[in-house]
Amino acid sequence: MVAMSSIQEFATQIINNVEQVIIGKREALQMLIVTLLCEGHVLLEDAPGTGKTMLARSLAASLGINFKRLQCTPDLLPNDVTGVSVFNMQTQSFNFIPGPAFSNILLADEINRATPRTQSALLEAMGEGQVTVDGVTRVLERPFFVMATQNPIEYEGTFPLPEAQLDRFFMKLSLGYLDPQSEGQMLLNLGREHPIEKLQAVVDGHQIPELARQVWEVHVDDTVRDYIVRIVFATRDNKDLILGASPRGSHALYRGSQAYAALNGRDYILPDDVKLLVPAVLQHRCLLHPESALRGTTVSKILDTILDEVPLDIGEF
């Protein structure tokens, strides 16, 4: 319990600090911190101008770790992500210049505009925590947290991430627009100086690997574990889905629930934690049948139905 309170305090400090810049997105912030504590990566699908970059910067500033932004374009090469060995003619040797992957928080903006080759390079770094350039493997510093953004389907996109690759993201979130009150407050907060300039680090981001290890200590009751498995299996049995959630999905749901419980100062998971995380963790891992999509069904609706139907065993006398 001592460890959980420290995680709770860690999260609260970050959230309170970031909320000086990003208003009205507390739930999204909590999800981001859950992803951080699980050492995963997040995909943000949003319209332009909703504060994705500002969020990443505020988070990095609050954690006191370095932040890089990568604007993905169709001509972006894999080396532009991982780094390149440049030949020094004077010394007649190659010097490695690390790419943006060598940062603690990387914002990969509009990842769907990069070519599949470039996308793969980044996804590989995310998955393995290391990059190989010219035969040399270099381990990325921890924490390594990628926030990739993608335009929604209505907007023009050249290379949307294949569904199989989406599975590598721990969560998929959408910030959305602010409510009128929050938007008004945001305008009030903007003065001559943007609030982000004044933001200071409130925690040490390098603690994250240790905190992630502590999250494993959150107790998971057998019935909750069964519940997670049943939910995931329900996605695999659903007739409207070509592809249900993978074992990686159940693992993400499990870990995410633990992290969320810890974030709330608890050392045990509640079924409510699982239900809360299902949309963010499983939605992008399920592939909808094209005909079902044409009938107006969405993965979100299917998940809602699954959550309404999968029974939860609370015991009886």
Partner 1 sequence: MNLIILIVILLAVAFLLRIDFIYFIVYICIGIYFISRWLVPYTIHHLQGSRKFNSHAFSGEAIDITMLWENKSRIPLPWLEINESIPPELRRDESTAWAIGLGSRQKRQLNYQVGTGRRGYYQIGPARLTSGDLFGLVRPSSGQLAPDYITVYPQIIPLVELGLPSRLPFGTIASYQRLFEDPARPAGVREYRSGDSQRQINWKASAHANQLFVRRYQPAISLETAILLDLNKDSYEKKDWRYHTEWAIVVAASLAVHLVNQRQPVGLISNGIDPLLRQEGEALVFDQESGRLLREGNETAAASGQIVPTLPPRSGRAHQMKLLETLARIESDSTIRLDQWAATACSPLSWGVTIMAITATGDEKTCQALHRLVRSGFNPILIAVEPDLQFGQTRERARQLGFRAYHVLRSANLDMWRQPQGSTT
Partner 2 sequence: MTKLHMSNLARMDEQIDPDQLQSLSRQYRSGRPMRYVVLPLLMAIMLMALMVSLLAVIVEVSVDNRWFGTTFLLFFIALEGIYTTNWLNHPRQLPLDRAAYRAAELLLLIILVLIANQFIFGQGIPEREMLLEYLRAPQILFLNWHFLIMVLLAAIIWRMAIHLSQIFTKLQISEFELRYHSLPLAQRKARAEDQPIQISRSELVDDFLRFWLIGGLLLVVATGISTLGQQSVEKFMAPLASGRTNLEPRLLSALLLYFIIGLWLLSQARLMHVHARWLLNSINTDEDARRKWQRTSLVILAFVVLVATFLPIGSTSALSQIINVVLFWALAIAYFIILLLVLPFAMLLAFFSGKGIEEVTPPPPLEPNFMQPPLENSASQLGETLAMVLSSGFWTVLIIILILALLFYFRERGLDGLGPVRNLRLGERILAWLREFWSRLHGQVRSLQDTLLLLRESENSDEEAQAGRPRWRFLRVSNLSPRDQLRYFYLSTIRRAADKGVKREAADTPNEYAEDLKQSWPEAKEGLDNLTQAFLMARYSDKDISAEDLPPVKGTWKEVRRELNQKPAPTEDHVANEEEG
Binding site for partner 2 (CB under 8 A): 1, 219, 221, 223-224, 266-272, 275, 307-312, 314-317
- Work out what residue 188 binds among partner 2, partner 1, none; the CB cut-off runs from 5 to 8 Å by kind: none
- C-alpha 200/C-alpha 137 separation (Å) is 34
Q: Cβ closer to partner 2: 168 or 266?
A: 266
Identify the bridge partners of residue 144 per DSSP, sorted by sequence position.
Answer: none
Instruction: Give the count of alpha carbons within 13 A of 287, CB side only.
Output: 11
In the block, tokens 């505009």 appear at 113
- Non-local (6+) Cβ contacts of 33 within 8 A are 11, 14, 15, 259, 263
Residue 275 interacts with which of partner 1, partner 2, none, CB < 5 to 8 Å by class: partner 2
Could you tell me the sign of the dihedral formed by the alpha carbons of 57, 62, 68, 70, in that order? negative
By CB under 8 A, the residues from 245 to 304 that bind partner 1 are 290-291, 293-297
Candidate list 3, 47, 54, 84; residue touching partner 1; CB under 8 A: 84
Q: How many CB atoms lie within 10 A of CB 237?
A: 9
Single-letter residue type at 109? D
Considering the complex, what minimum distance in angstroms separates the CB of residue 50 from partner 2? Answer: 30
Site string for partner 1, 103-142 (x = CB under 8 A): ------------xxx-------------------------
Q: Is the peptide bond before 195 cis (omega within 30 degrees of 0)?
A: no
Nearer to partner 2, 247 or 311 (CB): 311
CB of 46 to partner 2, least distance (A): 29
Nearest CA among 186, 197, 302 for reference residue 240: 302
Does position 180 bind partner 1 by CB under 8 A? Answer: no
The type of residue at 91 is T
Q: Which does 136 bind (CB under 5 to 8 A by kind): partner 1, partner 2, none?
A: none
Give me the least distance between CB of 75 and partner 1, in Å please. 5
Dist CA 85 CA 81 (whole Å)? 12
Residue 80 sits in the site that holds partner 1 (CB under 8 A): yes
DSSP state of 268: B
Of 13-21, 135-143, 149-157, 251-259, the window that binds partner 1 (rule: CB under 8 A) is 149-157
Q: Which residues bind to partner 1, rule: CB under 8 A?
A: 74-75, 77, 79-80, 84-87, 89, 94, 115-117, 153-154, 156, 290-291, 293-297
